[in-house]
Amino acid sequence: MNHEIFAAIGEALTRGEEVALLTIVSSNGSTPQRVGAKMLLFADGRTVGTIGGGCYENDALGKAREALRTRKAVTAKYDLNDDFAAESGLVCGGQMEVFIEPLEAPPALYVFGAGHVGYFLARTASDAGFEVHVVDDRAAFANRERFPFAASVIVDDIPTWLSQADIPPSAYAVIVTRGHRHDLDALQALAPRQLRYLGLIGSRAKVARIYDQLLASGAATLEQLSGVHAPIGLDIGAVTPQEIAVSIAAELIAIRRGRARHIADASLRWMPRVKVTGPA
């Protein structure tokens, strides 16, 4: 059965799906499965394999769903006493521990804009374990010589490319283009998508203008904009392109590790207290 689990893990990670792996790591007395038995939970609720069935498996699956949400591993301990066994329909009376770990492929990061911030962010994020894809319409900036560490470098008009691109919901997207018009076009195409992270660089005034334009035209809703991290990055007082890239990379890592807080109301993002992160 475990070969089926491992094959399913490989296929899921290739597709960019997150899964939770449940493994029995210790067992004493009478238990329905042996040490090493595994089960896989997909984010959409599908499962492969079993760790024995019954109420304790249902409980472990609940913890696995939480592990997918928090991206943190956990160990669940079960005492299969007579009451638990009767409720589960199992004849057993032992104890066991189940290790539950979320698994994900290197997260895909799409950097829209190959200027100074885009370059330093792509380099920093690549070192941090992200699979970086760079998109820009300028071949002089977006090329393999400049981004040898990127998984792909695309030279194309950004909204045109986005109209055909299949970006998975697990992906991260950062908009750091060279100007207001390009940022607006990229955000208009990306805001309606389900993404793990979407960030927009810019000053208070620039963010306000872009949001107001998208809302006025109906190209985006307030709910969609509430998912945008703008201003982008953690507030570390960044000024230079290198520092801004570090602040953005730090926020990406915080999101990946389940440590970032996010403002739910998009209208708060262009209030005067919003920080300026500088030009792209």
Which has the closest alpha carbon to 166: 121, 113, 218, 108?
108
The reply to whether 66 and 178 lie within a common domain is no
Same domain, 219 and 136: yes
* Backbone φ, ψ for residue 58 (5° rounding): -60, -40
64 token code pair: 């696995």
Q: Helices 116-127 and 241-256, interaxial angle, to 10°?
A: 40
Structure token pair of residue 124:
């920093």
Give how far Cα 155 sits from Cα of 104, 111, 121, 135, 160, Å.
28, 12, 18, 6, 11
pTM above 0.95, yes or no: no
Q: Is the dihedral of CA 155, 159, 160, 165 positive or negative?
A: positive
> Looking at the structure, do residues 44 and 152 belong to the same domain, yes or no?
no
Residues 187-244: tens digit of each pLDDT: 999 999 999 999 999 887 899 899 999 999 999 999 999 889 998 999 999 999 999 9
> Is 278 part of a structural domain of the chain?
no
CA distances (Å), 127 to each of 42, 209, 246, in order?
A: 28, 34, 12
Tell how strand 38-42 and strand 47-49 pair up.
antiparallel
pLDDT digits (tens, 9 = 90+) for 92-120: 567 889 999 999 888 999 999 999 999 99
- Structural domain of residue 82, as residue ranges? 2-103
Name the strands in the sheet holding 152-155, side by side, starting at the edge strand that comes first in the sequence.
152-155, 131-136, 108-112, 172-175, 197-200, 228-229
181 lies in the same domain as 218: yes
Domain co-membership, 124 together with 149: yes
